[in-house]
């Protein structure tokens, strides 16, 4: 049996800052091992659980002082995944514009929409902030040749 060290304590105040080389390696290795569709789904899921965990860890919630877009933006500054502008859409949906996505910069020009860890992270963070289940799609990506990355966050029913 291992020593009962609580890993949670050592990362209590640690924000998520992913080195670009690890981002690139994660993409390359999952693509090689699992193929494109599975790789994208795995990266989304890793991002989701990381975003959810970090948001719960720092115990931040949307309250009367800040709107959801304001809370998400201020939290995102600490993540090191790029700068975002968040706009509220009807039915709880959010539009997120990301300038200088760290993931896209790490991957370079892939010719396709590529920020799968980032969209997972956005969905996980927003889900933890709202206690609803969010999904995130990327509609434009710097890695695909667009000038910025655009994301749509939508509440997932059921």
Site residues for Zn ion per CB under 5 A: 101, 104, 115, 141, 149
CB of 26 or CB of 149, closer to Zn ion:
149
Place of tokens 């695909």: 144
Length of the chain: 158
Smallest distance, Zn ion to C-beta of residue 133, A:
22
Q: Angle, to 10 degrees, between the axis of helix 116-130 and the axis of helix 68-77?
A: 130
State the Cα torsion 49-79-70-145 to the nearest 10°. Answer: -90
- Residue 101 or 126 having the CB closest to Zn ion: 101
Helix (H), strand (E) counts: the chain? 6, 4
Least distance from C-beta 68 to Zn ion, angstroms?
22
Partnered with residue 133 across adjacent β-strands are none
Compute the least distance from the CB of residue 7 to Zn ion, in Å.
31
Closest of 107, 121, 109, 119 to residue 79, by C-alpha? 121
Residue closer to Zn ion by CB (options 106, 149) is 149
Q: Which is nearer to Zn ion, 60 or 151 (CB)?
A: 151
Min dist CB 11 to Zn ion, Å, is 27
Cα-to-chain-centroid distance, residue 7: 22
Residue identified by tokens 């995130």 is 136
* Nearest to Zn ion of 19, 100 (CB atom): 100
Distance in Å, CB of 62 to Zn ion, minimum: 25
């Amino acid at each position: 049996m291992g020593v009962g060290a609580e890993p949670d304590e050592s990362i209590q105040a640690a924000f998520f800052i992913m080195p670009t080389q690890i981002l690139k390696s994660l993409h390359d290795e999952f693509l090689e091992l699992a193929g494109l569709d599975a790789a994208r789904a795995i990266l989304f899921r890793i991002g989701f659980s990381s975003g959810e965990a970090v948001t719960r860890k720092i115990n931040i919630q949307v309250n009367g002082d800040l709107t959801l877009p304001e809370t998400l933006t201020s939290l995102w500054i600490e993540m090191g995944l790029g700068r975002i502008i968040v706009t509220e859409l009807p039915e709880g949906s959010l539009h997120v514009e990301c300038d200088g996505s760290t993931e896209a910069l790490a991957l370079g020009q892939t010719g396709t929409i590529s920020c799968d860890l980032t969209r997972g992270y956005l969905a996980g963070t927003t889900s933890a902030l709202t206690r609803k289940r969010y999904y995130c799609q990327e509609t434009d990506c710097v890695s695909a040749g667009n000038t910025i990355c655009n994301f749509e966050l939508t509440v997932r029913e059921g």
